[in-house]
A and B are shown apart, each in its own frame.
Chain A
Amino acid sequence: MMGQFVFRNLFHRPVRTLIGVMAVAVEVMLVITIVGLTSGMLQETAKRIEGIGADIMVQPSSASPMFMFSGAPMPVKVADKIRELKYVEYVTPALLQFNTSGGVETIWGIDPETFRQVSNGFVFQEGRDMEGPDDMLVDDWQAKAKHVKVGDTYPLLNHDWKVVGIVEHGKAGRIFVPIATLQALVGARDKATIFLVRCTRPDHTADAMDEIKDLLPTNKVQPVKEYMSMMNSSNIPALQTFINAMIALAVCIGLLVIFLSMYTTVLERTRDIGVLKSLGASKLLIVRALLAETTLLAILGIFAGIGLSYAVRAGFLKLFPTLSILITPGWMVRAGLIAIVGALVGASYPAWTATRKDAIEALAYD
């Protein structure tokens, strides 16, 4: 009977219910999408780094796992010293430049020859490798996102680049230019952000790392395989804070809308509450009925929010093909729990006010 009562109450005012459901849905979608976007981007970046085929990464000691934010503090000459080590076969320097004009992009300045040695080269879908100082390679996702083709001019960093090849995605970055040109453009002559090292054999990685650590004791030396596990929001400075802030914002939106919705519900049902009291309904029963209604509303909102998340992801990927949004069951459950707790908190005060209503005044309410 209580289930029927709650269910019928929920659908007695369909517009109000729809607004409440949508508020929870937006809350859930925000949580899932923001987390999915950050973790998706991190994982996708990590996969691309792993896809290079290098065994070891050498960075400055204070470097961020997000290379593009690390600047270019290491002299390129260091690569020559690393190359001389016993267990090192190839080394390639890379200069990474974060660019936000005309989109969010990381430009990889590479030395084509040594990069090819470390990575076994790109898989070309069209065009050829870089030869001239203004040549540029883009991966297929970037080409699709920016609608560029071989032969096009691609303006970046106040410089006109010529797209000479489109390569298969999954290796390092999405935009590649000659390192020397990029160094000159960003004022980092002879500097690199990272060195990628390929060992003589994969099982020589530990030995090679020891050698590099002896050579560069102040630098961060780590196997590429470890990088995947490091690429999560807790290792990226301020990112976890940003995610938490976004989740808190989403929860606030949901909580306030549910509060308002249930508060107006209690006002609208003042007389009903008086009737329930006249029938001998306890305060607990009245609270239970309202919270059960809120929970049902939240559950509907959660399912709508999950659906909305997939719709938003599809929309985003259509508009921005280079994005990666990772929707995981774990975060669906967490977003759902956050939404339910938020909704129940939002409904608590209205439910409490309902129990405190004077039955006689409630029965006389118009």
Chain B
Amino acid sequence: MGITVTIQTNSTGTSEPQLKVVEPLLKVENVWKLYHAGKVEVPALRGVNLDVLPGEAVAVMGPSGCGKSSLLYVIGGLATASRGKVLVDGNDLVTMSDAERTKLRRHKIGFVFQRFNLLPALTAKGNIAIAQYIHGDGFDPHRFDVVTKMLGLDGRLNHRPSEMSGGEQQRVAIARAIINEPKILLADEPTGNLDTKNSEIVLEMLRRLNKDLGQTIVMITHNPEATTYFDRVVHMRDGVIVDGIPAD
């Protein structure tokens, strides 16, 4: 449960601070994730706790193999937690069926991957539109225009991924992830395959999404500079979150 301070004007015209309780959009409680290598159980997450408030941008940092990606996949419902609770907008992913998690992903979660993961046969427009199609509401030209203009893609929409730079591909991937206005955007090392200039562009876009549109973001990164764009940085080591400190 999060607490925010808001300033409200009362009936006499004076402003006074009020405490308001805000439910976390994402709540991870004592989550374990065990992988099986033959008969051996390998724990990737060992009792992770994490709350993310609506509109918050959280960066998760840590060395390779510390469980960052496992945490992201568990939060996104692509993997199931072995133990614990994962609440996304009040829905416990651990108790959901595969079909229910798929539906939740469709409506409430957007993914951005390190390797862009665009569909190679489709153009940029097709890659974004297919997310709208899967979402089920059909093609929304207004939303499409807003998103593609915001991400500077209007001139590249008829190009295929193979005809675009890495930065452009990642912007298409971001457009695809946010086209359906997900509650939470999960980014797995989104700048991992980009040069410095494109990394900065992508991070700036993520920051704008968060600041201007209030998009809740959880991003995994190795890049220390990337964390400067985010509200909060969480460090992971050996499958657990070791702290949670403000970036500034």
Contact = CB atoms under 8 A, between A and B. Distances in A.
Interface of A: 1-2, 4-5, 8-9, 11-12, 271-272, 274-283, 285, 359-360, 363
B247 interface: no
Interface string B79-115: 1000000000000000000010011111101010100
Interface string B137-169: 001000000000000000000000000000000
Contacts of B78: 277-278, 359-360, 363
A234 B111 CA distance: 61
Nearest to B118: A275
B120 interface: yes
Given A1-B139, A4-B126, A278-B111, A12 B102 contact: no
Which 9 residue pairs across A and B have the least CB separation, nearest first?
A: A280-B106, A1-B133, A12-B121, A280-B105, A8-B121, A359-B78, A278-B111, A275-B117, A9-B121
Contacts, number: 74
Contact of A363 (B106, B107, B109, B113): B113
The binding surface of chain A is classed by DSSP as helix
A67 to B, nearest CB: 59
B221 to A, nearest CB: 17
Nearest to B79: A360
Interface in B193-227: none
B53 interface: no
A280 B131 CA distance: 8
B66 interface: no
Contact of B133 (A2, A274, A282): A2
B34 interface: no
B130 A282 contact: no
B117 A271 contact: yes
A219 B121 CA distance: 70
Contacts of A11: 121
Given A1-B129, A1-B130, A360-B73, A280 B119 contact: no
Nearest to A12: B121
B102 A363 contact: no
B214 to A, nearest CB: 22
A5 B130 contact: yes
Contacts of B119: 5, 272, 275-276
A282 B121 contact: no
B134 A280 contact: yes
A9 B79 CA distance: 27
The binding surface of chain B is classed by DSSP as helix
Contact of B122 (A5, A285, A360, A363): A5
Interface residues of B, number: 30
B22 to A, nearest CB: 26
B76 interface: yes
Given A5-B121, A280-B107, 18 more contacts: A5-B119, A5-B133, A8-B122, A11-B121, A272-B120, A276-B119, A277-B78, A277-B105, A279-B131, A279-B134, A279-B176, A280-B102, A280-B106, A280-B134, A280-B135, A282-B103, A359-B78, A359-B79
A269 to B, nearest CB: 9
Contacts of A4: 122, 126
A362 B134 CA distance: 18
A280 B138 CA distance: 14
Contacts of A359: 73, 78-79
A271 B122 CA distance: 14
A105 B26 CA distance: 83
Contacts of B134: 276, 279-281, 285
A279 B130 contact: yes
A2 B109 CA distance: 21
Contact of A12 (B111, B120, B133): B120
A272 B120 CA distance: 8
Contact of A282 (B79, B99, B126): B99
25 contacts: A1-B126, A1-B139, A5-B126, A8-B121, A8-B122, A8-B126, A9-B121, A11-B121, A12-B120, A272-B120, A277-B102, A278-B111, A278-B113, A279-B105, A280-B102, A280-B103, A280-B105, A280-B106, A280-B109, A283-B99, A285-B134, A359-B78, A359-B79, A360-B79, A363-B117
A283 B98 CA distance: 10
A301 B176 CA distance: 34
B140 to A, nearest CB: 12
Which of A274, A277, A280, A359 has the most B CB atoms < 10 Å from its CB? A280
Nearest to B116: A275
Which of A12, A278, A281 has the most B CB atoms < 10 Å from its CB? A278
Contacts of A363: 78, 113, 117
A274 B79 CA distance: 12
Contacts of A276: 119, 134
B123 to A, nearest CB: 8
A119 to B, nearest CB: 66
A278 B176 CA distance: 11
Contacts of B133: 1-2, 5
A279 B126 contact: no
Which of B99, B103, B120, B139 has the most A CB atoms < 10 Å from its CB? B120
A211 B122 CA distance: 79
A252 to B, nearest CB: 30
Nearest to B135: A280
B182 to A, nearest CB: 10
